[in-house]
Structure formats: structure tokens, C-alpha cells
Structure 1
Amino acid sequence: MSHEQPSNTLGIFPRAWSEEQAGRIPGNIPIWVGILSELTEFAIFFVAYFVAKYYYPDVFAQGPQGLNTSLGVANTIILLSSSYFMAKAMMHIRLNNRGKCQGYLWLALSCGCFYLIVKTWEFYWNNLQGLSTSTNEFYTVYYYMTFNHFLHVGWASCAVLWVIFRLRAGHYSAEEHSGLEALAVYWHMIDLMWILIFPLLYVLR
């Protein structure tokens, strides 16, 4: 009896990629070490949030009411869009379509920049309302969590720009794109952290 290899019936990815990459963990060991370190850092912030909320329930119930929820929602939409664009960029590099890959990377970078602009405006708006790290325990946690995330988006956006330059120089292809893939994994991790931060700070009472 002959055993045939399953065919790439959808025709979405090149046959070589679909066979060789199936079941492989995306990115590389260094990026996953970095991601685990970052997740540990964010986990500490989350623990601090719940401990502080336990001891100051009234402060944490009232705190979100002082924030500009509309700006928080806007940044959530921006980051979700950036993850979509990053996923599309990965799809096109696997199809060896560098032009479309670059286009989607520029869109992801634009989302990162928009996020930084909106978050900077939010910090400024908070300052106008007299909100700072010393206002109360809620805003102390809020600023530490959001500013830390702000920094991550900032240097990840710089990494996207670096990857675009490398892509233009011909360093990535359907056969070799581990650097781009590592960036995509890191970018999705940052977006995931915001999906957790947003309801904790802007929604939950």
C-alpha cells in the first residue's frame, strides 16, 4: 500500500514551507527567552495590581472613572489592527512577496506610532486633570503598567523599522525569515499584554 503525503490543497503557502514548518515553534530561542522575561515582568505588575486592589478596593473602584476610556478604546483598536497587519506581513513573506510584506510592515509601524501618540496625549490629558503617580494607589499602578507598556511599544516599533530596512536589503525570503518571525511573535506578545491591561485599568470596578 502506498502512502501519499497530504497535499497543500488550499494553495495558501508554498509546499516546502507547509511541510517543513508544520508544528515548528515560531521565532527562535533568544526571542522566546526575551518574551518569557517580559512576561515575568508584566506578571509582577499584575500581581501588584491585584494586591493593591485587595487593600484599596474603594480607590480601585473609583480610579477608572477618572481615565479617558475613549483613548483607551482607541489604542486597543490600534493595537489589534497592528497585530492583523503583522500577521499579513508574515503571510506574504512566506509567499515570497516582499512588496506586500513591506507594505503591511509599514502599516504595523504606523499603528505603533499612532499608539504612542495617543498614549502621550492621554498622559498629557491626565496631567491636566491633576492625575499623577502620587494621586492614589490606583494611579500609581496605572502609570507603572501603562508607561512600561508604552516603552515596549516604542522599542518594538523601532525594531519594525529595522526589519523593514533589512527586508529592503534582501535579507528575508520565503526560505529565511526567522528575524522577521521573531519580531512578529514579540509584537503579538505586546498586543496581548495590552488586551489584559485595558480591562483591568479602564473597565473593572
Structure 2
Amino acid sequence: MISSAGMLREYPPRQGRIPGNGAVWVGIFSEMSEFALMFIVYFIARVHYQEIFAEGPLRLNTMAGMLNTLAMLTSSYFVARAMNAIRGNQLQQCYRFLWGAVGCGVVYLVIKYWEYCWNIEQGIEVETNLFFGVYYYMTFNHFLHVGWGSGAILWGIWRLKKGAYTAENHEGLEAIASYWHMIDLTWIVMFPLLYVFR
């Protein structure tokens, strides 16, 4: 619903239930466990190869990492606004915000692909050293998740246009939103570990 000020009114989710469904949370916890293992490997390797892990971030393109962070944060904002819109039965608003999230996902993928090409031009490859091996494994895994998540949002857009989601029934869209926020959260942890910490 639109308030008198012309702004989209905030609609809280229904109380007493988790967003989405149990199946998607099994998937989210599985994915989070996978990323948690990556972070554990990162910290173990960092303890044993401190010099390599201190020098590695200096060779990466920090601007690309920052732009991707901005893309992920903006995409999560759009997803949150889309969920608020569907709860308020503002289907067209929801539709536009979901397309904004997909656009941010595509921006992330394009920047990351460009960054990989830039890395190779600088002689930064998987075999360069342990830091870059960890960097490629973690970021490429995340790259795939952004691709899958963007595809899931596109599926949600298609379902929304077909009339599958309403203010009263949008569990599937909640599941997609929950998965997307997990992808965003993972990058927020990953960015400082790979690009900032020396």
C-alpha cells in the first residue's frame, strides 16, 4: 500500500514462522557449511603461510572487489524491497525490484569475469601460490552461486508474472530471497578476507 507521503509502506513478515520453507533452509545451511569449510581452510593456510597471505591482497584489484561488494549489497536491498512490496500486494513494485536484483547479479558476474581476465594478464593464476589458489576456489564458487541465485530470481519473476505469488501466498519468493541473502552475506565475509586483510 502507498502512504500519503507517496512512499511504499513497510509491511512486516507474518509472525511465528521462518521465511520460505524448510527445504530451502536445509539447502542454505548446507551451502553455509561449505563456505564455512572454505573459511576454515583460509585461516589455517593463513597461519602457516603468513607472508604469502599478507602479500596476496596487494596484487588483487581492490576496486573490482569493492564494486562487486556494492553490487551485492544493492541487490540484497532490492530483494528486501521486493519482499516488502509483495507483502503489500504491490506486484508491479515487486517485479521492478526483482529485476533490479537480477541486474545487480549480472553486474557482479561481469565484473568478476573481467577481474579474472585482468588477473591472468597480471600473471595471477591458480598455480601462482597458495593464496591465489584459495582466492580462485572461494571466488569462483561464489561466482557460481551468484549465477544460480540470479537464475532463481528470474524464475521468481516468471512465477510472479504468472500470478503465482500474492500478498497472502509468496513462500516460494521468500525462499529465493533467503537464498540470495545468504549469497550476499557470504561475499561480505569473503571480501575483507581476500582483498583487505594484510
TM-score range, shorter chain: over 0.9
Question: Based on CA coordinates, which of the two structures has the bigger radius of gyration?
Answer: 1
> What does residue 83 of structure 2 align with?
90
- Using the size of structure 1 for normalisation, the TM-score is 0.91
> What does residue 137 of structure 1 align with?
130
The structural deviation recorded for 1:174 is: 0.4
Structure 2: tracts of 5 or more residues without a match: 1-8
Alignment of 1:45 with 2:38, yes or no, is: yes
**Which runs of structure 2 are paired with 1:52-201 in the superposition (5 Å)?**
52-201=45-194
CA distance in 2, matches of 1:65, 1:12: 43
- Using the size of structure 2 for normalisation, the TM-score is 0.94
CA distance in 1, matches of 2:96, 2:25: 26
The structural deviation recorded for 1:22 is: 1.3
Summarize deviations over 1:145-189 as a string: whole Å, max 9, x none.
000000000011011111101000000000100000000000000
Query: What secondary structure is seen at the aligned counterpart in 1 of 2:128?
Result: coil
CA distance in 2, matches of 1:142, 1:128: 16
The structural deviation recorded for 1:109 is: 0.3
CA distance in 1, matches of 2:10, 2:28: 29
One of 21, 25, 31 as aligned partner of 1:32 = 25
Query: What secondary structure is seen at the aligned counterpart in 1 of 2:167?
Result: coil
CA distance in 2, matches of 1:77, 1:39: 21
CA distance in 1, matches of 2:126, 2:47: 19
Query: What secondary structure is seen at the aligned counterpart in 2 of 1:171?
Result: coil
4+ aligned runs moved over 6 Å, structure 1: none
CA distance in 2, matches of 1:59, 1:199: 16
CA distance in 2, matches of 1:44, 1:104: 33
The structural deviation recorded for 1:23 is: 3.2
> What RMSD, in angstroms, separates the aligned Cα atoms of the two structures?
1.1
CA distance in 2, matches of 1:62, 1:102: 44
CA distance in 2, matches of 1:37, 1:101: 28
Give the aligned length. 190
Q: Which amino acid aligns with 2:77?
A: Y
